[in-house]
Every structure is written in C-alpha cells, then in structure tokens.
C-alpha cells in the first residue's frame, strides 16, 4: 500500500531514489535515527547475548536455555565443593534414589559416613531385603585434581570385601584416561560419574535445584483448521 507521501514522491517523477533525495523528509530522518539507536544497543550487548540474523526465535530461546543450564551446573559444582564431605555423600544417595534406584523404599539408600566405611561412602539396597546392593565411593575434589587408576583399584578391593558385584564412583572433578580404562577391564561393574555428568543428572532429576518458571512455546493447531 502506497502512502500519501509515497504518491507525492512518485508524482515528482524522480530519476533516482537514494538517501540524499530522501533526506528532505522528516519520516526518513526519524527512520535512520531509530536504526542507528538499534545498532548501538546491539553493539553494547556482550557477544554471547547477540543473536544472528539467521537464528529463529525458537533457536534463540534454546541457546539461552543452554546458557542458563551451563551456568547453573557450574554453580552447583561450586556449592558442592564448598560443602562438608558428608553432604556430598548424602547428595549422591539422594540423587540415586531420585533416579529410581532402590525402588519406592524410603530408607533404601544411606550414606555410611567417614568412620568404619571400609572404602565405601554409601549404599543403595536394590530390593527390600538388601540382597542386591550398589556401593558408592564419593570423592569431592577440586577441578584438575583428577581420579587416577589407583583409586579405582582401591574401590574394586572395597567392593570385593563387601562381596559386591557393582559399584558407583562419583567425583566433582574428572577421571584420568587410565582410571577409565581400569574401570572398563575390571571384573566388577564400576560406573564412573565425573563433575559434568553429576550436574547433568542433578538438573535432570531436580536434585539441588528447582523449576523457577515455565515457558510454553505454542504453534498452530493444524487439526483445528482442517
């Protein structure tokens, strides 16, 4: 639709339309000023907050969601590392119960504490009688202080003393390549969870975090228009 101003310009039969010829109109000047303001605002934002012209609104929201979860995961690790050691042990048991290990029995999991644990920090009873158990070793280490193969072999020995067939080794740091290789080749099933996987599971099962808000993304209901 052509506006009255547009018809006025066309009635003048201009040979060309460029910025110089349009600068005599106040509306065009306001348009340029607003465009400059938007450009300056975008440049003032951090690079991570800027969006590409090719990204859809859905993609922008998903990128922002990943950034929020990444920041929250790091905050969870920082809080865990600053907490007492027995808190970390209770956290692992709580996480396993939230994941469904131990069934519906409220006291199926327990932290064993620091005295007399014989190299084991927690245990989950997979059945009501405790015939099938998962033993847990928890190491609350700083970033860079990785778990080596020796710690895995020691945990294997603890499982052997408890006559256990499987165990879970959790750390807030990471595992060395030799530690992962050792866990793969031992005769007992030992699952390794490092800091990254730990926070991913905590976010998935809402342990140590909660839903603050819910955003509903809607789209056209094609069936409604058929």
What distance, in Å, lies between the first and last C-alpha atoms of the chain? 31
CA distance 61 to 148: 39
CA distances from 138 to 86, 90, 112, 146 (A): 9, 10, 11, 13
Return the CATH number at 132.
3.40.1350.10
Question: How far out from the chain centre does Cα 156 lie?
Answer: 30
Going across the sheet that includes 109-111, the strands are 109-111, 122-125, 133-139, 166-171, 189-193
In a domain, 71, yes or no: no
What does the block give as tokens for 50?
A: 């800027």
111, 90 contact by CB (below 8 A): yes
Of 120, 105, 100, the closest CA to residue 205 belongs to: 100
Do 137 and 101 lie in one domain? The reply is: yes
The predicted-structure confidence for 107-150, as pLDDT tens digits, reads as follows 667 666 654 455 688 888 877 766 778 899 999 998 889 999 99
Do 161 and 121 lie in one domain? The reply is: yes
Per-position DSSP letters for 49-117, written without gaps between them:
G---TT--HHHHHHHHHHHHHHHHHHHHHHHHHHS-HHHHHHHHHHHHHHTTTTTT-TTSEEE--SSS-
Do 21 and 100 lie in one domain? The reply is: no
The predicted-structure confidence for 178-194, as pLDDT tens digits, reads as follows 999 999 999 999 999 99
Of 136, 147, 140, the closest CA to residue 81 belongs to: 140
C-alpha angle 210/215/220, rounded to 5°?
150
Its domain, for residue 133, covers: 78-204
What's the whole-number mean pLDDT along residues 52-69?
Answer: 80
In a domain, 103, yes or no: yes
In a domain, 147, yes or no: yes
* Number of folded domains that form the chain: 2
pLDDT of residue 37: 56
pTM to 2 decimal places = 0.69
In a domain, 68, yes or no: no
């Amino acid at each position: 639709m052509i506006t009255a101003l547009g018809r006025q310009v066309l009635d003048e039969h201009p040979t060309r339309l460029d910025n110089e010829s349009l600068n005599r109109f106040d509306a065009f000047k306001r348009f340029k000023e607003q465009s400059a303001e938007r450009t300056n605002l975008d440049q003032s934002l951090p690079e991570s907050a800027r969006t590409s012209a090719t990204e859809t609104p859905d993609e922008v929201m998903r990128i922002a969601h990943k950034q929020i979860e990444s920041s929250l995961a790091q905050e969870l690790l920082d809080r865990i590392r600053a907490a007492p050691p027995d808190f970390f042990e209770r956290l692992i048991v709580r996480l396993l119960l939230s994941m469904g290990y131990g069934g519906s029995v409220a006291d199926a999991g327990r932290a064993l504490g620091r005295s007399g644990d014989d190299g084991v920090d927690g245990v989950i009873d997979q059945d009501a009688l405790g015939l099938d158990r998962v033993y847990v070793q928890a190491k609350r280490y700083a970033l860079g202080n990785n778990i080596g193969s020796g710690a895995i072999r020691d945990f294997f020995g603890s499982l052997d003393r408890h006559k256990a067939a499987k165990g879970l080794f959790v750390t807030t740091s990471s595992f060395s390549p030799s530690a992962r290789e050792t866990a793969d080749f031992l005769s007992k099933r030992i699952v390794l969870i490092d800091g990254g996987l730990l926070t991913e599971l905590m976010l998935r099962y809402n342990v140590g975090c909660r839903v603050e808000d819910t955003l509903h993304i809607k789209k056209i209901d094609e069936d409604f228009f058929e």
